[in-house]
């Protein structure tokens, strides 16, 4: 069956296309316009904007921390919250089911869960398989695990680190490797309460710098398309820009992705010893073309912070709102869940809000700055439409800035930034660039052969509304959203890399898990059957 979207403004930065034209689909793929013959279905998109489906590279939508948060905060769940009134976080929904629907309504068709311990990968995949419509993938965590730290301490060869990375990626069926406060979480278990890039993990005698560099090199050497995805040390602390700058410098010429950089953009200037250092980060990134970042924008309202940076979460537990939290130690990173409310009237939260926007506006290459709120850490992903509107409209930004404490605004450069993103830049940042960064050439663009993931938006004065409720969304060529409402469910498979695994490493890990934990090394292995699911809704029309 051939479908044609005609007459819309097609914005496809990967193919340098921005013009009124047609997009044709058949068999789940984009096809070239046929020389002759009619479409079976035609959608007249005159006056509308047509883009590839959106791709989110960093959103915590599954796995251990997310589920702990669900259990800790039932009042944030939509169904619960309807009695008596919806809470801000409930706008994101809280179930796997709503996650897929809400992303699809905004025109997003691929989402990456960026922090899954290899030991929790099976559960995470089963949960992801339950999320409808969107394609999913995971990044799996190393960098505080005993095997990696011991191997570096014992001076084992880079080949051992590399083979362990390959073994971990393959077993967890992940798309890449995430490192969270490298060494800091292991040090936390030995009662260290702060940990910087050159601090030493007591029992191992290795620094964060050594761990990051060893894993960065291993990922690169294996040829994994997505670079090492790094959550730096000292998240959220005044003056932590120095940590981020040291990390950027240490990357040398190898690819590196820095997650939620907003949380590392802080200086110590001003009346409260807390200020924006975003311009310094933007300058450093100009000189480091091998480094990409996502922002982790803060938006105001109730949310919950979920992180495997258990050191950071433990230290932040006093700021919990409401006053409850969960700190879980355990294998490798453990996890911490601390509910939090960002307030526009708070000096600190206002600076955080500004730092995120400054990063978006000062880094003028939309191929290297990625659109995230680190859902739910900076804000639920349902805040994306408002954030897109803020990036595209400086008058709207001025309105928001006028509600912030003036002394907070004065330690940022935000009021001076006049840049407005255009739709081409938005499409680059949310489609073309993330597909390239994740190594997914089948999506993020609209050339023939690409997956037929397409979002059609109705432009208008209300930019947030445009992105909140797509006019049409197609997933693999299936029409799944009409006028902001899900009209059809379907299920996909998780995306993963499958590097070759060295047989010696396989034997070594079997022995290691047996000796150290009394477990078979394949206890956490994700079987093929777990990364997809039969589609029970095939052809069933319904609405979320
Ligand atoms: Zn995150």
Residue the block writes with tokens 């077993």:
171
Q: How far does the centroid of ligand 1 lie from the alpha carbon of residue 40, in Å?
A: 43
* 451-486 pLDDT tens trace: 999 999 999 999 999 999 999 999 999 999 999 999
Residue the block writes with tokens 């590392």:
264
**What integer pLDDT is reported at residue 544 of this predicted model?**
39
The tokens for 490 are: 């379907």
Mean pLDDT of the region 522-532: 89
What average pLDDT does the structure give for the chain?
94
**What integer pLDDT is reported at residue 81 of this predicted model?**
58
Peptide bond into 212 cis (omega under 30): no
Phi first, then psi: give them for residue 526, nearest 5 degrees. Answer: -90, 115
Q: How far does the centroid of ligand 1 lie from the alpha carbon of residue 370, in Å?
A: 13
With cut-offs at 50, 70 and 90, classify the pLDDT of residue 539.
very low
Q: How far does the centroid of ligand 1 lie from the alpha carbon of residue 438, in Å?
A: 16
**Residues near 287 by beta carbon (within 8 Å), at least 6 away in sequence:** none
* 234-256 pLDDT tens trace: 999 999 999 999 999 999 999 99
Examine the pLDDT at 535 and tell me if it is beyond 80. no
Please give the C-alpha separations between residue 176 and each of 117, 141, 498, 513, in angstroms, as whole numbers. Answer: 12, 9, 10, 22
The tokens for 257 are: 């992705």
- Residues 493, 451 contacting (CB under 8 angstroms): no
Dist CA 247 CA 152 (whole Å): 19
Q: How far does the centroid of ligand 1 lie from the alpha carbon of residue 260, in Å?
A: 7
**What integer pLDDT is reported at residue 89 of this predicted model?**
78
Q: How far does the centroid of ligand 1 lie from the alpha carbon of residue 294, in Å?
A: 10
Mean pLDDT of the region 56-83: 87
> Closest Cα to residue 55, out of 304, 226, 215, 291?
226
The tokens for 129 are: 């398989």
**What integer pLDDT is reported at residue 278 of this predicted model?**
98
**Residues near 351 by beta carbon (within 8 Å), at least 6 away in sequence:** 266, 274, 275, 276, 408, 411, 412
Mean pLDDT of the region 170-178: 97
Examine the pLDDT at 330 and tell me if it is beyond 80. no
**What integer pLDDT is reported at residue 493 of this predicted model?**
79
Q: Where are the beta strands (DSSP E) in 181-281?
A: 200-201, 206-207, 228-231, 256-258, 266-267, 275-276
**What integer pLDDT is reported at residue 128 of this predicted model?**
95
Higher per-residue pLDDT: 528 or 269: 269
The tokens for 493 are: 């498979």
Mean pLDDT of the region 77-86: 67
Higher per-residue pLDDT: 494 or 106: 106
- Residues 265, 271 contacting (CB under 8 angstroms): no
Q: How far does the centroid of ligand 1 lie from the alpha carbon of residue 180, in Å?
A: 9
> Closest Cα to residue 489, out of 533, 437, 526, 544?
544
Dist CA 432 CA 12 (whole Å): 8
**What integer pLDDT is reported at residue 529 of this predicted model?**
87
Alpha-carbon dihedral 319, 325, 328, 333, rounded to 10 degrees: -40
**What integer pLDDT is reported at residue 540 of this predicted model?**
43
**What integer pLDDT is reported at residue 87 of this predicted model?**
75
Examine the pLDDT at 308 and tell me if it is beyond 50. yes
* 344-380 pLDDT tens trace: 999 999 999 999 999 999 999 999 999 999 999 999 9
Q: How far does the centroid of ligand 1 lie from the alpha carbon of residue 63, in Å?
A: 12
The tokens for 362 are: 């000062």
Strand partners, 476: none
Q: How far does the centroid of ligand 1 lie from the alpha carbon of residue 487, in Å?
A: 30
Query: What sign has the CA pseudo-torsion 474, 475, 480, 481?
Result: negative
Query: Which residues crowd ion ligand 1, with CB under 5 Å?
Result: 374
Please give the C-alpha separations between residue 251 and each of 87, 221, 350, in angstroms, as whole numbers. Answer: 41, 14, 30
Please give the C-alpha separations between residue 327 and each of 146, 187, 470, in angstroms, as whole numbers. Answer: 20, 15, 39
* 197-239 pLDDT tens trace: 999 999 999 999 999 999 999 999 999 999 999 999 999 999 9
Mean pLDDT of the region 411-421: 98
Percent pLDDT > 70 in the chain is 97
Q: How far does the centroid of ligand 1 lie from the alpha carbon of residue 119, in Å?
A: 18
> Closest Cα to residue 361, out of 400, 403, 405, 397?
397
**What integer pLDDT is reported at residue 37 of this predicted model?**
82
- Residues 324, 72 contacting (CB under 8 angstroms): yes
Mean pLDDT of the region 312-335: 92
């Amino acid at each position: 069956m051939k479908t044609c979207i005609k007459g819309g403004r097609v914005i496809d930065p990967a193919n340098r296309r921005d013009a009124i034209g047609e997009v044709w689909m058949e068999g789940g793929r984009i096809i070239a316009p046929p020389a002759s013959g009619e479409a079976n279905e035609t959608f007249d998109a005159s006056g509308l904007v047509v883009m590839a489906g959106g791709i989110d590279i960093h959103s915590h939508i599954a796995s251990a921390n997310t589920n702990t948060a669900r259990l800790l905060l039932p009042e944030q769940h939509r169904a619960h919250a309807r009695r008596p009134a919806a809470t801000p976080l409930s706008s994101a929904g809280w179930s796997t089911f709503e996650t897929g629907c809400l992303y699809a309504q905004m025109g997003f068709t691929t989402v990456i869960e960026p922090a899954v311990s290899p030991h929790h990968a099976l559960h995470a995949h089963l949960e992801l398989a339950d999320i409808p419509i969107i394609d999913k993938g995971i990044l799996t965590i190393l960098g505080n695990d005993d095997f990696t730290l011991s191997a570096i301490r014992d001076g084992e060869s880079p080949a051992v680190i590399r083979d362990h990375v390959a073994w971990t990626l393959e077993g967890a069926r992940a798309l890449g490797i995430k490192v969270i406060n490298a060494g800091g979480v292991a040090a936390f278990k030995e009662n260290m309460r702060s940990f910087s890039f050159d601090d030493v993990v007591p029992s191992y005698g290795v620094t964060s710098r050594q761990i990051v560099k060893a894993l960065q090199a291993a990922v690169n050497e294996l040829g994994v398309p997505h670079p090492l995805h790094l959550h730096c040390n000292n998240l959220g602390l005044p003056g932590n820009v120095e940590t981020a700058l040291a990390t950027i410098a240490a990357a040398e010429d190898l690819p590196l992705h820095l997650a939620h950089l907003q949380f590392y953009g802080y200086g110590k200037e001003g009346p409260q010893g807390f200020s924006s250092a975003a311009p310094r980060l933007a300058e450093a990134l100009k000189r480091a073309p091998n480094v990409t970042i996502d922002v982790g924008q803060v938006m105001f309202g109730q949310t919950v912070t979920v992180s495997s940076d258990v050191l950071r979460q433990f230290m932040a537990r006093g700021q919990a709102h409401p006053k409850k939290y969960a700190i879980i130690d355990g294998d490798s990173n453990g996890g911490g869940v601390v509910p939090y409310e960002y307030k526009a009237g708070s000096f600190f939260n206002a600076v955080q809000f500004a730092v995120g926007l400054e990063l978006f506006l000062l880094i003028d290459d939309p191929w290297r700055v990625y659109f995230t709120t680190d859902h739910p850490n900076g804000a639920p992903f349902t805040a994306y439409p408002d954030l897109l509107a803020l990036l595209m409209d400086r008058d709207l930004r001025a309105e928001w800035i006028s509600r912030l404490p003036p002394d907070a605004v004065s330690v940022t450069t935000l009021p001076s930034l006049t840049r407005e993103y255009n739709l081409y830049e938005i499409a680059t940042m949310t489609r073309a660039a993330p597909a390239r960064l994740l190594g997914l050439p089948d999506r993020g663009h609209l050339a023939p052969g690409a997956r037929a993931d397409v979002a059609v938006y109705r432009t208008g004065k209300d930019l947030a509304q445009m992105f909140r409720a797509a006019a049409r969304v197609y997933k693999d060529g299936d029409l799944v959203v009409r006028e902001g409402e899900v009209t059809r469910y379907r299920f996909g498979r998780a995306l993963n890399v499958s590097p070759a695994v060295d047989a010696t490493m396989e034997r070594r890990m079997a022995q290691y898990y047996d000796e150290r934990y009394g477990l078979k090394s394949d206890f956490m292995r994700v079987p093929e059957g777990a990364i997809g699911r039969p589609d029970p809704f095939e052809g069933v029309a319904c609405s979320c």
